[in-house]
Amino acid sequence: MSAFITRIRIWDRPVRLFHWGLILLVALSYASGKSGAWGLHYVSGYAILTMVLFRIFWGFFGSENARFVHFLRSPLAALQQLGRLGKRDRDTETSHNPAGGWMVVVLLTLLLTQAFSGLFANHDPGFSYSQHGPLALKVTEATSESLSALHLAVQRYLLFAIALHVLAIMLYKLVKGHELVMPMLTGEKLLPEGVKAPRLASGRLAFGLLVLAGTMVFLFIRLF
């Protein structure tokens, strides 16, 4: 590998907007849930569900390095990657590393479960109009209570996964010298010369998939 360093664009704008937008939405959902601002809580939940569906679509049809087939490797590869965490080495990744790829899947799964269960959740045993999810009255009370319990349980797992994700980013910066935050801000990363830049998909495709995701969420809520 060449010792020369070059600047490569690795993250497209849709991925970066998804990443930072999702952080804001999760914070908004958490704060509005804690304060009892349920109207705002539901709107942020719809937005999260739409964003997660978009990212799943982008994982199949989007930019080369955003596709699941590109960054998802075997669990063994992820464990081997974690085993090298204490070793300082050269960063050559143009996507998520093996461990980071599985963290993406875990976070998307938790967020999808959290947002979906919230549609049916009941925040008050009396099923008051202002304190239940938009679809809670479309299922039995027992089903709503079960999904409410799932909603609360997944929240704890999600907070733990987010904390683990942030810790890993910090360790990669401090221990290995890999900068992971700035590339997600600027889209560009300093890599050894000779590393091939990924093919990035168009913004029009991203917009179309976002509209599709939003339409699916809207129709599901209206027609369920």
What does the pLDDT look like over 180-207, one tens digit per residue?
999 999 999 999 988 999 999 999 999 9
Q: How many residues does the chain have?
A: 224
What does the pLDDT look like over 9-32, one tens digit per residue?
999 999 999 999 999 999 999 999
Q: How far apart are CA 109 and CA 29, in angstroms?
A: 17
- Per-residue model confidence (pLDDT) at position 129: 46
pLDDT higher for 158 or 129? 158
What does the pLDDT look like over 102-153, one tens digit per residue?
999 999 999 999 999 999 998 665 445 456 889 998 999 899 999 999 999 9
CB 180 within 8 A of CB 125: no
CB 14 within 8 A of CB 62: yes
Q: How far apart are CA 70 and CA 60, in angstroms?
A: 10
Local confidence band at 4 (pLDDT 50, 70, 90 cut-offs): low
| For residue 96, pLDDT beyond 50 | yes
Tokens representing residue 132 in the block: 């239940």
Distance of CA 12 to the CA centre of its chain: 15
Cβ atoms within 10 Å, residue 58: 23
Share of the chain above pLDDT 70, in %: 94
What does the pLDDT look like over 28-44, one tens digit per residue?
999 999 998 989 999 99
Q: What is the pTM of this model?
A: 0.92
